[in-house]
Structure 1
Amino acid sequence: MVFTIFNTVAFRSEDGAMWNIAQPDRRLSLTTIPARLFTYLLENADKMVGREELLNNIWDKYGLEPSNNSVNQYISLIRKSLSELGCDEEIIKTVPRMGFYITGEMVSRNLETPQSVVSAIAEAQPAKQQSRLRGWYKPALLAFSVIISTLLILQPFRSATGRLDYSFPKSTLFKIGMIDTCPVYGLSEGSPYTAARKQQLAQELSTAHAPCINNEVFIFQSGEHYAYQQSGRAFIARCADSDRTLSHFSDCRAVYVFAK
């Protein structure tokens, strides 16, 4: 299996080979244990993987005895290898007292064939041009922020026109959960674990800035750093769903937060 990571680095699980997709001559190989560890994390992308789970599946399962700091040492080695191949994004996130997490949208997988490797090289984009943009502004979050900013600018003119509603570009919203009687939607589909965490964060922002009002809906989006480490950016909007189709909103109250 070949994993494509952040559209920048390819990793072959069978032999631990890693290379820069745009520059295939930039390559290195992970030894057995770090290759096995990285494969396990990639196969479980979008899932929180605990330290004990890694010890059981990477060491104990094969009759190996890990040292006290084995997991940290090999995670550090994998991160260094990714950086050496041009991937500056934080692919493996450490969540204190919980474990390690890889965002599923950063990873794709395919069986290695000559055609697939050529396609990956042809479609790759330079990592340095993307890392800052993706790290801080998820495309959906950025687009939605622009829309809401426009709504807030137009809001003062509401009294002059009597009634001003807003039509959002057609897109799919994914239900995360409920805040009291108000449904909460996200801009991307995540795992059950991330949905529960995002609902909790949405509840906190709602309580502080925009409590639920009956028959209105919340739209919430956050970066992975904010979701797990309370750092980065998050956004929540409470809107009236005028026609109950999730495509025509009015009277939006939006909150955008940033935590270092």
Structure 2
Amino acid sequence: MHRIFMYEFRVNGSAVFSPKDNLLVNQQLGRALPLAPVASRLLLFLCCHPNLIVKRRDIFRAVWEDFGFEVSQGSINQTIFVLRSALDDAGVGADCIRTIPRIGYCLLAGVERITHETCGAA
């Protein structure tokens, strides 16, 4: 038997992000917000690097290029805009993603990784 770990992230103690389901949920507010796959990949990348400045180049690589996409600077700006809106709607706050001019972005939030362990046959 082997163990399969699935991760979710609690952001600022108020919302749970499920990368597997592309979903941002705030149970207290009764809101479940679906995210586009690209917005979900970006939030996953930011959740894996909370409170750290991540360079635009690293975001492009992890969110688009590793998935076979080549995009412009406008794509990251638009995705950040969409993600800020979703975080605000989920009660986390749009201001938790800070723009670091000419460098990148920083997710200023408490991020807790939640592990769900299941058992499966080997």
Compute the TM-score of the two structures, normalised by the length of structure 1.
0.40
Structure 2: state its 5+ residue gaps. Answer: 1-6, 118-122
1:110 matched to which residue of 2? 114
For residue 107 of structure 1, what is the amino acid of its counterpart? V
Q: Pick the structure with more strand per residue.
A: 2
Structure ranking higher on relative contact order (CA contacts 8 Å, 6+ apart): 2
CA distances 1:65-112 after superposition (whole Å, capped 9, x unpaired): 2133011101110110111122236211111122111236x1111124
Q: 3-state SS of the aligned residue for 1:90?
A: helix
Could you tell me how far 1:32 is from its partner in structure 2?
0.9
Q: 1:16 aligns with which of 10, 13, 22?
A: 22
- 1:93 aligned partner: 98
- The answer on 1:79 being equivalent to 2:84 is yes
Q: Which amino acid aligns with 1:4?
A: R
CA 1:78–1:34 in 2, change beyond 3 Å: closer, same or farther? same
Alignment match, 1:205: none
Alignment of 1:13-92 (within 5 A): 13-23=19-29, 25-88=30-93, 90-92=95-97
Distance in 1 (alpha carbons) for counterparts of 2:51 and 2:33: 26
Asked which structure has the greater CA Rg, the reply is: 1
Separation (CA, whole Å) in 1 of partners of 2:46 and 2:92: 17
**How far did residue 47 of structure 1 move?**
2.0
2:4 aligned residue: none
Q: How does 1:1-260 map to 2 (within 5 A)?
A: 1-23=7-29, 25-88=30-93, 90-103=95-108, 106-112=110-116
Alpha-carbon distance in 1 for matches of 2:11, 2:94: 10
Q: Higher helix fraction: Structure 1 or Structure 2?
A: 1
Higher mean C-alpha deviation, range 80-89 or range 30-39 = 80-89
Root mean square deviation, CA, Å: 1.7
Change (3 A) 1:112 1:79: farther
CA distance in 1: counterparts of 2:91 and 2:108, whole angstroms: 18
Secondary structure of 1:74's partner?
helix
